[in-house]
Amino acid sequence: MRREMEAKHAALLKQLEQQALTDTLTGLPNRRAFESEAARVMANAKREDWPVSIGVADIDWFKRVNDQHGHPAGDTVLRTVAQTIQNHVRAGDLCGRIGGEEFGLLFPHATVEQAAVIAERIRLALAATPIAASPNVTVNLTLSIGLSVLDVNRLLDAAIAAADAALYQAKLTGRNRVVISQSP
């Protein structure tokens, strides 16, 4: 009886931990899980001396979807974008929903130039995918993506800020593009 209770307790704790680290809408890791995994990857990369790149992807004009078609359509779009990204990253890469319509991308064993090739593949795939946002509404969307080197000797926040600044440049220069951060 006691072992059975302990097993149930352990299963419940595991379920709660999973829920605390998962974005319920997309099923992707949430920001907390994404940052935790990035920190783990940084430690491994520093110890084993391999490159890591990080990215921030944002759905272009997403607010229009919610405003014109409602939040259920927006939710469908978020799930579809998440799945599209998942389908086009490499095994071992990580995608997480880090806020609103923003997705974090982690590319272990990839220079920022290699990450740009993957990010471009994601961007092109989404641009070519009409999304059935609701039974009577199909939308075509694009992504802007900012990339940065994840310098293992600096703070994770600095790399995310650099990727976010590159994302901002992508937005300012026309959207639907991948921009690599110029800061280390």
In the numeric block, the tokens 């086009």 are attached to 88
Provide mean pLDDT across the span 109-137: 96
Q: What is residue 8's predicted lDDT score, i.e. its pLDDT? A: 76
Q: Reading across the β-sheet that carries 102-108, which strands appear in turn? A: 94-99, 102-108, 52-59, 143-149, 178-180
pTM: 0.90
Q: Could you tell me the domains of the chain?
A: 25-180 (3.30.70.270)
The tens digit of pLDDT for each residue in 4-59 reads 877 776 666 666 566 567 999 999 999 999 999 999 999 999 999 999 999 999 99
Catalogue the active-site residues.
101
Tell me if residue 112 falls in helix, strand or coil: helix
CA–CA gap between residue 100 and residue 41 (Å, rounded)? 24
The tens digit of pLDDT for each residue in 70-121 reads 999 999 999 999 999 999 999 999 999 999 999 999 999 999 999 999 999 9
CA–CA gap between residue 71 and residue 67 (Å, rounded)? 8
Q: What is residue 17's predicted lDDT score, i.e. its pLDDT? A: 64
